[in-house]
């Protein structure tokens, strides 16, 4: 029997990617020719700050998600538990000046200004799948650099077995922090080998431009093979530790959110299955897709977990 695996992609999805690509090519040509002063495109208002960053190949099986969807449907509990509110509420967050504190098991520690942190790091565009634990999937062209490049500068010691990340705590600008929905500040963590993996990115932008505040400006983590909650936003502190960090979601609901949080269709969340996912922005008639092991990055990351029982270490 012939199994039809090639699903028809709705025109809306094809358009979002091709519009982005066309715009980018045109913009690059115009920038090269010195023709651009203001870009009237629908995606972002200007030639983005990062419009000239090199793009990697895009060979994923979901088209690039529309910028509008990625920046309008967000999870950011410091502002709201709703998905559309952070887009509005995050705008009053002050992100300049911004400092990053480095602590713990490393030779160099201290407080650094964001410009200082970014100095000498080459930005790249990385088009990654993103998968929320609530079963929506998207593909985002992030602008950032491998986290490892930054971490190595601080010379982590032999005791550095994990890396802990902390979000800004500023209830005057982050109204959600006045409510007990999570233990504040938001904390996440990675094992050091996960943190050093070349796929793990620190993002400063997306879609050729700076990160929208609701997507975690000015600095956020992107770990493409893990559920979205690992990708912590508005990072102000990185700490190298010997012990596994106590993360915000794990403290709030340990049976639901484990430390590893690898995308895994075979391990259900206690209240829902993770076997299928909805593509953000797709038509409501588009069937959900099968979730891929490690969000499709198994070839690159499965070896990090050799011998581990992934139902126990979820
Ligand atoms: N500080 C902070 N980081 C966070 C969150 C949050 O509430 N606060 N939500 C997480 C969750 S659950 C997801 S799915 C992603 C969402 O990223 P996006 O809004 O850019 O899609 O951010 C993650 N990072
Ligand atoms: Mo999430």
pLDDT tier, 44 (very low <50, low <70, confident <90, very high otherwise): very low
User: What's the pLDDT score for residue 10?
Assistant: 46
User: Closest Cα to atom 5, ligand 1: which residue?
Assistant: 76
What span, in angstroms and rounded, lies between the C-alpha atoms of 105 and 163?
9
Q: What does pLDDT average to over the chain?
A: 90
* Ligand 1 shell residues, CB under 6 Å: 74-78, 132, 167, 186, 215-216, 228-229, 231-234
Candidates 165, 160, 169, 158; CA nearest to 188 is 165
Asked if the model's pLDDT at residue 34 lies above 60, the reply is: no
- Which one of 68, 69, 229 would you pick to mutate in the ligand 1 pocket, going by the greatest count of ligand atoms within 8 A of its CB? 229
Separation of CA 230 and ligand 2 centre (Å): 8
Start-to-end Cα distance in the chain: 37
Q: What are phi and psi of 94, to 5 degrees?
A: -90, 120
Whether 65 contacts 18, CB under 8 Å: no
User: Closest Cα to atom 1, ligand 1: which residue?
Assistant: 233
Instruction: Indicate left, alpha or beta for 208 from its phi (over 0: left) and psi (-120 to 50: alpha).
Output: left
Name which of 55-59, 247-251, 280-284 the model is least confident about: 55-59
Q: Which ligand lies nearest to the CA atom of residue 139 in the structure?
A: 1
pLDDT tier, 62 (very low <50, low <70, confident <90, very high otherwise): confident
Candidates 144, 168, 148; CA nearest to 236 is 168
What span, in angstroms and rounded, lies between the C-alpha atoms of 282 and 69?
10
User: What's the pLDDT score for residue 125?
Assistant: 94
E strands present in 18-135: 99-104, 110-113, 124-131
Asked if the model's pLDDT at residue 1 lies above 50, the reply is: no
Asked if the model's pLDDT at residue 3 lies above 90, the reply is: no
Asked if the model's pLDDT at residue 300 lies above 80, the reply is: yes
Separation of CA 136 and ligand 2 centre (Å): 9
pLDDT tier, 6 (very low <50, low <70, confident <90, very high otherwise): very low
Q: Which ligand lies nearest to the CA atom of residue 207 in the structure?
A: 1
What span, in angstroms and rounded, lies between the C-alpha atoms of 118 and 269?
37
pTM, two decimals, is 0.89
pLDDT tens column, 243-270: 999 999 999 999 999 999 999 999 999 9
Per DSSP, 158 falls in state T
Separation of CA 145 and ligand 1 centre (Å): 19
Interval 145-159 mean pLDDT: 98
Whether 127 contacts 55, CB under 8 Å: yes
Judged on CB neighbours under 10 Å (0-12, 13-18, 19+), 34 is: exposed
Query: Mind giving me the DSSP string for 174-191?
Result: -GGGGSTTSPSSPEEEEE
pLDDT tier, 43 (very low <50, low <70, confident <90, very high otherwise): very low
């Amino acid at each position: 029997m012939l199994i039809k695996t090639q699903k028809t992609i709705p025109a809306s999805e094809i358009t979002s990617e091709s519009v982005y690509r066309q715009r980018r090519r045109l913009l690059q040509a115009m920038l090269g020719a010195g023709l651009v002063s203001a870009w009237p495109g629908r995606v972002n208002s200007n030639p983005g700050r990062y419009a000239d960053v090199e793009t990697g190949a895009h060979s994923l099986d979901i088209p690039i998600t529309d910028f509008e969807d990625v920046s309008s449907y967000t999870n950011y509990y410091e502002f709201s538990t709703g998905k559309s509110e952070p887009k509005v509420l995050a705008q009053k967050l002050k992100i300049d000046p911004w400092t990053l504190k480095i602590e713990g098991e490393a030779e160099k520690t201290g407080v650094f200004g964001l410009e200082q942190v970014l100095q000498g790091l080459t930005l790249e565009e990385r088009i990654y799948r993103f998968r929320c634990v609530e079963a929506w999937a998207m593909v985002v062209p992030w602008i950032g650099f491998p986290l490892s490049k930054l971490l190595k500068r601080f010379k982590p010691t032999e005791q550095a077995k994990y890396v802990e990340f902390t979000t800004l705590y500023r209830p005057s600008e982050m109204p959600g922090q006045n409510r007990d929905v999570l233990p504040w500040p938001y904390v996440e963590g990675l094992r050091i080998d996960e943190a050093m993996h070349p796929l793990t990115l620190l993002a400063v932008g997306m879609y050729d431009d700076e990160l929208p505040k609701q997507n975690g400006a000015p600095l956020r983590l992107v770990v493409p093979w893990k559920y979205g909650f690992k990708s912590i936003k508005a990072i102000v502190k990185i700490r190298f530790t010997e012990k596994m960090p106590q993360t915000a979601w794990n403290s709030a609901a340990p049976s639901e959110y484990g430390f590893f949080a690898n995308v895994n269709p075979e391990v259900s969340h206690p209240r829902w299955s993770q076997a299928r996912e909805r593509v953000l922005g797709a038509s409501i008639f588009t069937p959900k897709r099968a979730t891929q092991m490690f969000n499709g990055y198994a070839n690159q990351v499965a070896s990090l977990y050799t011998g581990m029982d992934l139902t126990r270490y979820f």
